[in-house]
């Protein structure tokens, strides 16, 4: 059995995203060591959102561990759109930088899509620029930069399907959630692998029945434990993209109420039904940063061609 597939003690197998992401990072670091020029990643943080600060710090740390040239630009919350766009343009022109990531959300008053459209498509390691969205939609995945979270989820699906002896080609895939960052690109990636794809969302009629059709069920709605055990087809491959912070039990060391992370799938119920599932935490989450590093390496390699 593959190293990323582990027993859970219940019916479903667990898909270990930490092990899968470590393997991606090890490959990126090994390839980087053989390059004449280091890949360069610039991460831009505007304002002081605490969650964004944590994410940006871990992106910089992973970049250094991969052997990249890593720079972080911290701008005050009062930064204007024009100032942010000027910074992006200077990074576009910097030959030492191959990947540019502007952390979202941006402060009110800044139009995110205007900023993201300023990033040179070949440096858009988030894959959010309309050129990359278009290349992915046209099935030109070799030339696109693909958004990191769905790309990471797709790798887990491929590795789990292989370990379980399942075909993605011809499988019924249902994605719950239609965001530009996860749901829509996930649909394109599954379609490129010849799955039959349904994108369901909050207005879908009889969502549980639609979900129960899925051989591959991807949950990306951002609602804690919305997908119950009886929404899952027995034996299905379940990929939980949700990361939701909910109240826990008791108080932490600072005397604050504890919180815990849960996915969009009710994990304990799903473990009795699914064939394999990504846990939260430790499933898709760690893959996002690993695929960001992989995208940056890819951008650097293409720049050197």
Binding residues for NADP(+): 177-179, 243
Query: Is 218 within 8 Å of 178 (Cβ atoms)?
Result: no
Considering only 24, 84, 135, 148, the residue that binds ligand GUN (CB under 6 A) is 148
Query: Could you confirm whether 258 is annotated as catalytic?
Result: no
Binding residue ranges:
177-179, 243
What is the rounded CA–CA span in Å between residue 273 and residue 283? 18
Kindly write out the interface string for residues 28-57 of this chain, putting x where it contacts ligand GUN by CB under 6 A and - elsewhere.
------------------------------
Residues 106-140 as b or e (16 or more Cβ within 10 Å = b): bbeebeeeebbbbbbbbbbbbbbbebbbebbeeee
- 103 is a catalytic site residue: yes
Least CB distance to ligand GUN at residue 68 (A): 17
Q: Pattern of binders to ligand GUN over 104-123, x per CB under 6 A?
A: x-------------------
Burial class (CB in 10 A: 0-12, 13-18, 19+), 228: middle
Which of residues 32, 79, 103, 188 is near ligand GUN by CB under 6 A?
A: 103
Question: Under the criterion CB under 6 A, does residue 126 sit at the interface with ligand GUN?
Answer: yes
Q: Any catalytic annotation for residue 126?
A: yes
Residue 184 gets which letter from DSSP?
H
Q: Which is nearer to ligand GUN, 215 or 264 (CB)?
A: 264
Nearer to ligand GUN, 148 or 155 (CB): 148
- Contact call for residue 261 and ligand GUN (CB under 6 A): no
**Of 16, 123, 124, 126, which one is the catalytic site residue?**
126
Report residue 31 CA to chain centroid gap. 22
- Considering only 24-32, 99-107, 258-266, 275-283, which stretch makes contact with ligand GUN by CB under 6 A? 99-107
Ordered alpha helix ranges (H), the chain: 17-33, 50-65, 81-92, 112-118, 130-137, 148-164, 183-192, 207-211, 267-270, 285-304
Task: Give the Cβ contact number of residue 74 at 10 Å.
Answer: 13
Q: Within 10 Å of residue 19's Cβ, how many Cβ atoms?
A: 16
The catalytic residue positions are 59, 103, 126
The contact set with ligand GUN (CB under 6 A) reads 101-104, 126, 148
């Amino acid at each position: 059995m593959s190293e990323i597939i582990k027993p859970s003690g219940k019916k479903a197998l667990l898909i270990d995203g930490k092990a899968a992401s470590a393997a991606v990072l090890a490959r990126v670091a090994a390839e980087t060591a053989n390059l004449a020029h280091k890949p360069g990643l610039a991460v831009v943080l505007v304002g002081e959102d605490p969650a964004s600060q944590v994410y940006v710090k871990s992106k910089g740390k992973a970049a250094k561990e991969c052997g990249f040239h890593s720079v972080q630009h911290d701008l005050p919350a009062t930064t204007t759109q024009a100032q942010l766009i000027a910074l992006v343009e200077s990074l576009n022109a910097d030959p030492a930088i191959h990947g540019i990531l502007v952390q979202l959300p941006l402060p009110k008053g800044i139009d995110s899509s205007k900023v993201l459209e300023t990033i040179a498509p070949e440096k858009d390691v988030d894959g959010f620029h309309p050129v990359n969205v278009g290349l992915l939609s046209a099935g030109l995945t070799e030339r696109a930069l693909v958004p990191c979270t769905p790309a990471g989820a797709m790798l887990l699906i491929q590795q789990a399907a292989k370990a379980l002896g399942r075909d993605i080609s011809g499988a019924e895939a249902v994605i719950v959630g239609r965001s530009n960052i996860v749901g829509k690109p996930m649909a394109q990636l599954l379609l490129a692998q010849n799955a039959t794809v349904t994108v369901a969302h909050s207005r879908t009629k009889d969502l549980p029945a639609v979900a129960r059709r899925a051989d591959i069920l991807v949950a990306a709605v951002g609602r804690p434990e919305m997908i119950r055990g009886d929404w899952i087809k027995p034996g299905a491959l379940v990929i939980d993209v949700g990361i939701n912070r909910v109240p826990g039990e008791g108080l932490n060391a600072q005397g604050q109420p504890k919180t815990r992370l849960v996915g969009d799938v009710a994990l304990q119920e799903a473990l009795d039904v699914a064939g394999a599932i990504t846990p939260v935490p430790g499933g898709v989450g760690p893959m996002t940063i690993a695929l960001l590093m992989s995208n940056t390496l890819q951008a650097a390699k293409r720049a050197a061609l």
